Structure 1
Amino acid sequence: MTANFRVGVFVDAENIRYNGGYQMRYDMLRRFAAREGGILQRLNTYMAFDAERAREDLEYKKKSKTYQQMVRDFGWKITVKTVRRYTDENGNVTTKANADLDMAVDAMLQANRLDQVLLVTGDGDFLQVVEALQNKGCRVELIGFKNVSRQLQQEVDAFYSGFLIPDLLPISYEARNEWGQPGSCVRGVCTKWFADKGYGFLRIMNQISPNLWITDPREPLSPYTSVFCHANELADEVTEDLLMSRETVLEFYVNESEQKDNGLVANNVRLAFSVNR
Structure 2
Amino acid sequence: MSTNVRVGVFVDAENVRYNGGYQMRYDVLRRFAAREGGTLQRLNTYMAFDAERAREDIEYRKKAQTYQQMVRDFGWKITVKLVRRYTDEAGNITTKANADLDMAVDAMLQANKLDQVLLVTGDGDFLQVVEALQNTGCRVELIGFKNVSRLLQQEVDAYYSGFVIPELLPINYEPRNEWGKPGSCVRGVCTKWFADKGYGFLRIMDHISPHLWITDPRDPHSPYASVFCHINELAEDVNEDMLSNRETVLEFYINESDQKDNGLVASNVRLAFTVNR
The answer to whether the superposition gives a TM-score over 0.5 is yes
Query: In the TM superposition, what is the alpha-carbon distance from 1:140 to its structure 2 partner?
Result: 0.0
Q: What is the alpha-carbon distance in structure 2 between the residues aligned to residue 249 and residue 5 of structure 1?
A: 31
Structure-2 residue corresponding to 1:172: 172
Q: Which amino acid aligns with 2:77?
A: K
CA deviation vs aligned residue, 1:82-127 (integer Å, no higher than 9, x gap)? 0000001110000000000000000000000000000000000000
Partner of 1:105: 105
Q: Which amino acid aligns with 2:85?
A: R
C-alpha separation between the residues in 1 aligned to 2:235 and 2:182? 20
Give me the whole-angstrom Cα distance separating, in 1, the residues matched to 2:108 and 2:2.
Answer: 23
Distance 1:2 1:16 in 2: 30
Please state how far the C-alpha of 1:4 moved relative to its aligned partner: 2.1
2:70 equivalent to 1:70: yes
1:150-189 alpha-carbon deviations (Å, 9 max, x no partner): 0000000000000000000010100000001000000000
1:17 aligns with 2:17: yes
Written as runs of structure 1 = structure 2, the 5 A alignment for 1:1-277 is 3-276=3-276
Separation in 2, partners of 1:221, 1:256: 21
Amino acid at match of 1:35: R
Contact 2:200 2:230 in 1 (8 A): yes
Q: Classify the secondary structure of the residue corresponding to 1:43.
A: strand
C-alpha deviation, 1:3, in angstroms: 3.2
Q: SS at 1:169's partner residue?
A: coil
TM, length-normalised to structure 2: 0.99
Pairwise CA RMSD of aligned residues?
Answer: 0.9
1:2 positional shift: 6.0
Unaligned runs of 5+ in 2: none
Number of equivalent positions = 277
**Does the aligned pair in 1 maintain the 2:3–2:36 contact within 8 Å?**
no
